[in-house]
Amino acid sequence: MSIAYWRERNRYYRILGSKCKECSAEFFPPVYKCRKCNSEKLAEQEMPKEGKVMAYTLSRDIITGFEDQEPMIIGLIELQNGVKMVAQIADASADQLAVGDKVKAVFRRVSVNGEAGQIFYGYKFVKIDK
């Protein structure tokens, strides 16, 4: 496991972005310069855990190590603060989802290293009642 992974692991467990100290614009993934006002005064900001599905697709072309998650639903999620992000949607089939559905971030197993058996965790989104 690389040192860089361990230094950045907090980002795998929390949805961390940036917030501009000048204009309050929020971004995910984090940026080093505000795209709204060009300020370089940014702070780490945890993003809201709830949002809605803007669009989604069903992927059957799964990369090595994720075969047990096929088919995988990948969604464009608009968080409560207006920030948009792409993430996996779990615990639903494509016919159970619709644009506009409310979702929330959950902490889940993402993958397992086959050789070492190490389990990697991160966030995914699941549908919630309206």
The CATH number covering residue 89 comes to 2.40.50.840
- Out of 32, 47, 62, pick the residue that ends a domain: 47
Q: What is the domain range of residue 33?
A: 1-47
pLDDT of residue 121: 72
Global pTM value: 0.80
Give the list of residues 6+ apart from residue 43 with CB closer than 8 angstroms, or none. Answer: 18, 19, 21
Same domain, residue pair 55 and 112: yes
- Out of 31, 47, 63, pick the residue that ends a domain: 47
pLDDT tens digits, one per residue of 48-68: 999 999 999 998 877 766 666
Which is higher by pLDDT, 47 or 4? 47
Same domain, residue pair 39 and 63: no
pLDDT over 60 (residue 11): no
Same domain, residue pair 25 and 75: no
Q: According to DSSP H, which parts of the chain are helical? A: 3-8, 10-13
Same domain, residue pair 79 and 98: yes
pLDDT tens digits, one per residue of 71-116: 889 999 999 999 999 999 999 888 999 999 999 999 877 777 767 7
